[in-house]
Structure 1
């Protein structure tokens, strides 16, 4: 895959676009600019804006690039709500939490310097606030429902304007792993046990919640992702390649570096 192309079989109702960048650093910089521009564009027509964040190396690098962009000051952050697609079930402040890494890369600065209300940051609870991944998932589903799109269907979630996802070398997205029971979960959220990637306990949005987003962006870099990226774009079975099962209601973007796009 080279350049940018609409994938075969894409429809105008839900367009799929593959964009390839030279390397992981350019990918993160471009994704950050794209994200900030998307928020600004949405704010010109409706409020609030709901964005779902992801972790991982490229995901956090994207947030750090956003923090350094001059566009960050143009956004009215008081009208933005930030959510997560998944979280490791470890305590608040733990270095492995997506929330902790996102705060260090971007969110702390948004709260301190750019008017993001702390109440608009919606982390998933860890074991210091919830007794189990299921309890955390249930609490997060309630928080999502409290700000749900009144025009939406099931599950009850906000109208996500952008939902960012990383992809693992095994093709997993959020904490939905190949062959795992969580793939079949209904509702908005699911507690995950026995994750093949440490830690074993996690909390994740479900496919139903992910697919409710207006735009879903899969951001992936590295040669170890190439085989599964190609399989997902070829619509291989979701049970084998969970990334094949994600899409937005309006648009799905696959943002890759050259290495991830270079399938053998």
Structure 2
């Protein structure tokens, strides 16, 4: 197993969400103390949104300068802006509307009623990422070619029972995409069928990737993801942060992986 991969076991879903929230607050504080601002990529899903709610409910959230946190999304359902299925809306309700973020720093993927099609939504997000990357590059040294995406300090990922991450599904074109940071996804095996997603290349630019998974239905995916399977068949196995990759899982999700290889949080 790669040295920068860390596996942490939690006794329950609630402890997983609360502990991940505490980790995120601490990481944002550390990055802000170093660089003045921090950037996080959010995920949807039940445990992802539960984590954001736990952040909003933590007294420690007051230590973060939320006006200097940049927010991006790993994927989005291509549905109308007012749909309850939108990750952006769920994240706003759980955290973003509750802690005083700067709206200009919240970068959402275009909704189905805002652009012509999913490819236009992917192109729009690609442009947003490139613009932010250029601003960062100019701030740092003002020379050379900017990367396709800005610096991601923490990138959160959920995990599907089929080991998909973001909206990158096994054997589908999205997980095979190269040379682009964002793709449109059609015929998703999980409804809704049309989505927008960061590619694996973009995901793996993150300084730290945190894969958060809970429930017995995720156990097989956790086992396969940590066993080094091909990312085309097991997308989660391909997620590797520049500095660290963390698998944060509850007891049920850990059922098919050797417990002695995990660090236990209580």
Instruction: Give the SS at the match of 1:212.
Output: coil
Q: What TM-score, normalized to structure 2? A: 0.91
Q: Give yes or no for contact 1:211–1:248 (8 Å, CA) kept in 2.
A: yes
Count of aligned positions? 249
Distance 1:238 1:188 in 2: 17
2:192 to 182, 196, 199: 199
TM (norm. structure 1) is 0.91
Distance in 2, Cα, partners of 1:69 & 1:48: 20
Task: Name which of 57, 60, 69 aligns with 2:58.
Answer: 69
Match of 2:152 in 1: 160
Q: Distance in 1 between matches of 2:66 and 2:162?
A: 35
Give 1:133 deviation, angstroms: 1.0
Asked if 1:143 corresponds to 2:100, the answer is no
- The SS at the match of 2:225 is helix
Question: Where does residue 32 of structure 1 map in the other structure?
Answer: 21
Q: What is the RMSD of the two structures over their aligned residues, measured on CA atoms?
A: 1.5
C-alpha separation in 2, matches of 1:90 and 1:66: 27
Equivalences for residues 171-210 of structure 1 within 5 A: 171-186=163-178, 187-210=180-203
Aligned to 1:120: 105
Seen in structure 2, the aligned counterparts of structure 1 residues 57 and 44 have a Cα distance that, compared at 3 Å, is: same
1:50 corresponds to which of 12, 19, 39: 39
State whether structure 2 residue 216 is matched by structure 1 residue 223. yes
Other structure's SS at 1:44 match: helix
Gaps of 5+ in 1: 1-8
Moved over 6 A (4+): 151-154
1:155–1:208 contact (8 Å) kept in structure 2: no
Query: d(CA) in 2 for partners of 1:238 and 1:30?
Result: 28
Supply the distance in 2 between the matched residues of 1:93 and 1:105 (Cα, whole angstroms).
16
Gaps of at least 5 residues in structure 2 are 258-266
Give the deviation of 1:155 after TM superposition.
Answer: 5.3
Return the alpha-carbon distance in structure 2 between the equivalents of residues 91 and 38 of structure 1: 33
Residues 243/178 of structure 1: CA separation in 2 closer, same or farther (3 Å cut): same
Q: Does the alignment pair 1:254 with 2:247? A: yes
Q: Which residue of 1 aligns with 2:68?
A: 79
